[in-house]
Chains A and B, each alone.
Chain A
């Protein structure tokens, strides 16, 4: 196993912390380059060479010929395949490995996009569109119920241990109230699962990269959330899909 030398390009979003959590959990040393959305750094030519899709997170693995990886799911799998020899986060057993990858895709194709749209239409869209708000809020809750059922009688999703399957959905589910889903009381397994994961020291470290964890701050001080959305709305208006 080569000695890792990783640069993580990231920002304070659920997708960014997915990767910093994995890096911390595996004890992989890494440098952080914070990407500024305000300055549209993610669309700059130098960054597009690393991630042609112009989003965070992305990594460069300098110990493997400056190899670039984009998409959080792909980064998490890459890090485990090269730097997780014990199969701590991505089991070596083929069936367990597949089950972890299935739950990774459940987040990548489901929770992420649907909760992302719930956040957009609840907080950032220029006009309030009840039809869209309802659609994405309900679908996100349906996806939460799938996770909640899958955790019945279990502490974690696969092999009853913390794996990428949990690490990938955790940042999104804990941020539910930032995307218009004010409570997850109806999903008791999810609540205990979130507490269980938050208690992991490496997870806490990863959540505070590149900036202090806002979700925890807003959980403790709800009045700061309105301030955040007010400021973010002005800035998010300048992404290309909202340009008029």
Chain B
């Protein structure tokens, strides 16, 4: 196993913490470069060399670049997780983890991200879009909730990438007006279980202290944050 030389390029976003959570859970040392969305740093030529998609997160490991949060998670596990802690070595379990990683990448993440955009940041209020994406998000919560029936985690009954990719979204449910997830009883206990993981909590506080709990308790703080983001988002 080579020695990691990781820089994490990240910003204030659910996608960013997916990468820092994995780094913390695997105990991999890393430097952080906070990409400023306000200054559109993610579109600068030096950054596009690292991530041609112009988004966060991305990592460099020495000279090697990785973009896309799921690809980063898989890369870190394949290179720096010899015990298969977050990405099991058993082929069936490994595939099942990757199936849920893809579920988040193609389904839950995009749906909730668009719901957040239309509920909070869009320059026009589009009720049909808010309704569409909130309903889509709820459908994905329903699927996850069913998958957790009688289980503590999604795959192999232990915390893996499958859980770490979906968790940042589900814990942020109230931002899109889903005030309570009590009806999804399995999701509620799954969130509480992951909340208790010290490494995950460390990862949530990168690149800045996690604001989700604060926003849930102080809706005015959430509104302040929304106004701030609206000042520079397209």
Contacts and interface: CB of A to CB of B under 8 A. Distances in A.
A105 B105 contact: yes
Interface string B104-133: 011101110010000000101010110010
B106 A73 contact: yes
A150 B102 CA distance: 23
Given A117-B114, A146-B52, A105 B143 contact: no
A104 B53 contact: no
Contact of B71 (A69, A78, A102, A149): A102
Contact of B75 (A54, A101, A149): A101
Contacts, number: 107
A109 B105 contact: yes
Nearest to B118: A132
A71 interface: yes
Interface string A45-57: 0000000111000
Contact of B70 (A53, A67, A109, A125): A109
A77 B98 contact: yes
A94 interface: yes
Interface residues of B, number: 42
Contact of B139 (A113, A114, A240): A240
Contact of B107 (A53, A105, A132, A150): A53
A179 B106 CA distance: 18
Contact of B109 (A73, A104, A109): A109
B64 interface: yes
A82 B94 CA distance: 12
Contacts of B111: 113
B99 A71 contact: yes
Contacts of B66: 98, 102
Nearest to A64: B92
A113 B99 contact: no
Given A69-B99, A240-B139, A106 B126 contact: no
A74 interface: yes
A70 B70 CA distance: 16
Nearest to A104: B71
B102 A74 contact: yes
B28 interface: no
18 contacts: A53-B103, A53-B140, A73-B98, A73-B102, A74-B98, A94-B78, A98-B71, A98-B74, A98-B75, A101-B75, A105-B68, A106-B68, A109-B106, A113-B106, A113-B110, A131-B129, A240-B135, A240-B139
Given A70-B99, A73-B102, 13 more contacts: A52-B147, A53-B107, A71-B98, A73-B98, A77-B98, A98-B66, A101-B74, A102-B66, A106-B53, A108-B70, A109-B69, A117-B114, A132-B128
